[in-house]
Amino acid sequence: MNKDYVVLKTEAIELRKKGLSYNEIKKLIKVSKSTLSLWLKSIPLKTEYRKRLYTKQIEVLSRGPMSQKQRRIREVEKIIQDAEKEIKLPLSFETYRLIGAFLYWAEGSKGEMFQLTNSDPYLILFFVRWIKSVFKISPSKLKIRLNIYPQQNEKEIKSFWSDLTNIPIKNFGKSYIKPISSGYKKNNLYYGTARIEVPKSVNIRHHVFGWIKATLKNITANVQITQRKWQSLREMPRPVNLKK
């Protein structure tokens, strides 16, 4: 062992005798933890020091999950903040139009009427304003229906959605009150779900799907080839309802 290591070992032993942990000693003496373990494994600790180190270890263990959680929260916040900087406002009309189109493709009804149902106030307001901007249809011309739970105040929830969207209360259709059962969602949908309906909108629906179809042209052939290859999946017989 060279002279410098002899000095470091002596210092480490003295610190250990004073009750310091390996990590505390490592901060004062720049050697690896494995080296400290080799030097200090035979150094006895007084009972009072063992109690202190044990208590400290418990505190570290108890803080560990929370510290990791807080660190992850900070990491996610930074990811979101950095991502926000990547978006330049105002959006181009073309971008804005396609955002709404694909939102409808994901969340909208595939029936005849152009309508969309969701519980997120941000999504609903975006959709209402998108309809106004792209199709020049005022919120006063839209219809809306709610899906709520029996314990919720229907009048107040209608007022909330009307206040948010500027759709008049008179345009609200009959709400669907979900029956009480063990099957409904456990998370709180404070405002229920809202279904935005655009009257006389069959052509609008076709128009939007035309935009979507144009956007997907570069992958259409791949999807169709794969679908033909796996046509047998579409020939699967429907399940038989045995509960009669």
Work out the average pLDDT over 202-230.
96
The residue assigned the tokens 């470091």 is 8
Quickly state the pLDDT bin for 105 (edges 50, 70, 90).
Answer: very high
- Residue 187, pLDDT > 60, answer no
Please tell me the predicted confidence (pLDDT) of residue 108.
95
Q: pTM (2 decimals)?
A: 0.69
Residue 227: its H or E element: helix 217-229
Whose tokens are 């006389």? That residue is 200
Burial 148-183 (b: 16+ CB within 10 A, else e): bbeebeeeebbebbbebbebeeebbeebeebeeeee
Could you state, in order of their start, the residue ranges of all structural domains in the chain? 3-82, 93-227
SS3 222: helix
| Range 62-65 contact pairs with CB under 8 angstroms and sequence separation of 24 or more | none
Structure confidence at residue 71 (pLDDT): 83
Query: Considering the chain, what is the average pLDDT of its residues?
Result: 89
Confidence of residue 153 (pLDDT cuts 50, 70, 90): very high
Higher pLDDT, 112 or 60: 112
Most confident of 3-12, 65-74, 180-189: 3-12
- For the chain, the straight-line distance linking the first and the last C-alpha, in angstroms and rounded, comes to 86
| Token pair 């006063």: residue | 140
Q: What pLDDT was estimated at residue 65?
A: 61
From the CB of residue 114, how many other CB atoms can be counted at a distance below 10 Å? Answer: 24
pLDDT tens for 211-221 read 999 999 999 99
Q: Does residue 182 surpass a pLDDT of 60?
A: no
Per-residue pLDDT tens for 21-69?
888 899 899 888 889 989 998 888 888 878 888 777 776 666 666 677 7
Q: What is the rounded CA–CA span in Å between residue 110 and residue 242?
A: 29
Contacts of 188 (CB under 8 A, 6+ apart): none
